[in-house]
Chain A
Amino acid sequence: MKFKAMTAIAALLFAPAAFAGGADDDTLVVNGDIEMTTKAPAPAHLDGALDEIISGWHFRSDETQQLQTDDFENQGMIFVDQAMDIWNTAEGSEGKACADCHDDPADSMTGVAATYPKWNEDAGEVRTVQMQVNDCRVNRMGADAWKYDATDAISMEAMIASHSRGMPVNVAIDGPAAEAWEKGKEIYYTRYGQLELACASCHEENYGNYIRADHLSQGHINGFPTYRLKNAKLNGAHSRFKGCIRDTRAETFSPGSDEFIALELYVKSRGNGLSVEGPSVRN
């Protein structure tokens, strides 16, 4: 008891300013136009595990936050432009471009990112945006599938996400998606690796705390794909999951695996109510 009290006092005395902890109170408006919901009441299916859901944007430094407020500073938007070129270019044995069937993505792709991963009735599977794009490439264009989270695939995902920015994440978790959602939930709470840490150990029990130099967020994916300053490219959610599991000294799963598809659905659903931010900027 005495020890705890002393610890608390000392933490106040010794903590450097940067260790203030918790989410900040800034507000995110992109291009002076798109108002983002970055804090929202936790969805009911979290059963009280969190009171409030908070975008990862709040846990980044002011400098990093600033970069996401303007598309000319957000380097992720360069990849969005590149994806627009691909969108308009015919490829594959059918000689078709995405644009031939979907016209202007500002119309046809609005709201798509907010509801994926999503159950596809004909295929009888939960599909991520990348899986759906590959389905169009292979079965409607006669082109090769893109490798999961590789540059073309992640750039296209970012372009599609950009047309949902500001809209609330709203993935369905019931009906035929329920099985994958349950599987994703189980993975989220499993303590993997030699360090025996679950996603929840860091992103639910310890968000707001520093782990070494990293300010832990709630680990939402409303901002994906993310442009990371660390590797100066767009990063997919599955690649981020892979890195987080690897850091628990565990054998990871692969991007595009059934495990990560289920985990993407579950993690995305934890952020139901936050705005789609992709492509966001993180460190």
Chain B
Amino acid sequence: MRLTAITAAVALVAGAAFAETVAPDDVVYGEYGEVNESLTGVPGDADNGRMVFSTKSKGNCVSCHAVAQLPDVPFQGEVGPELTWTGEARSAEELRGIVANAKHTFEGTVMPAFYKTSGFIRPGDGYTGKAPEGDLPPILSAQDIEDLVAFLLTLKEE
């Protein structure tokens, strides 16, 4: 009890910097699939976004997208469009919506939804092939999404 009260008080004092993380089911998508509010209130870290983009166990975005700015990452895929100019072509709001759940922007797209936890058919426990025990976490965390948006915004022709 007392602990909860203290935690709550700290949260109040900390204010905006510790703004509540928006849960996957609570994300508000606009008419074109864009998401206006940050999912965490913490500015994105482009370096971490770059790591999430190219790491198999994280976003693994390179499996489908090529990016000229990552020459050290081998075997970039071609299922999705090349993203070398995404930072010029898309706004942060559009990118946040696309990365969180691209189905709102591109109907029926093969691009997976990275910040979604419900509505799946036979979801598994990661890549084990088995059913999950308990609740399914989203593939990426809210901060991973923000970091990816920051990284994608750096992708411009030089």
Contacts and interface: CB of A to CB of B under 8 A. Distances in A.
B129 A251 contact: yes
Nearest to B82: A7
A11 B120 contact: no
B94 to A, nearest CB: 12
B85 A7 contact: yes
Nearest to B63: A212
B2 interface: no
Contacts of A180: none
A87 B7 CA distance: 72
Contacts of B125: 251
B68 A10 contact: yes
B139 interface: yes
A209 interface: yes
A210 B120 contact: no
A150 B125 CA distance: 25
Contacts of B78: 11, 15, 19, 21, 209-210
A45 B115 CA distance: 37
Given A6-B85, A211-B77, A201 B129 contact: no
Interface residues of B, number: 35
A249 B114 CA distance: 12
Contacts of A74: none
A251 B122 contact: yes
Given A196-B112, A196-B120, A250-B129, A7 B81 contact: yes
Interface in A182-211: 190-197, 201-202, 205-206, 209-211
Contact of B123 (A6, A11, A251): A251
B112 A195 contact: yes
Contacts, number: 102
B42 interface: no
- Which secondary structure dominates where chain B touches chain A? loop
Contacts of A247: 127
Contacts of A196: 112-113, 120-121
B79 A209 contact: yes
B81 A250 contact: no
Interface string A225-251: 000000000000000001001111111
A115 to B, nearest CB: 31
Contact of A10 (B62, B75, B84, B136): B84
A249 B75 contact: no
B110 A201 contact: yes
B124 interface: yes
A21 B62 CA distance: 17
**Of listed A194, A210, A216, A249, residue having the most chain B CB within 10 A:** A194
B110 A250 contact: no
Interface string A47-73: 000000000000000000000000000
Interface of A: 3-4, 6-7, 10-11, 14-15, 19, 21, 190-197, 201-202, 205-206, 209-213, 216, 242, 245-252
Among all A-B residue pairs, the 6 with the closest Cβ atoms: A246-B129, A213-B75, A212-B63, A195-B112, A252-B129, A251-B131
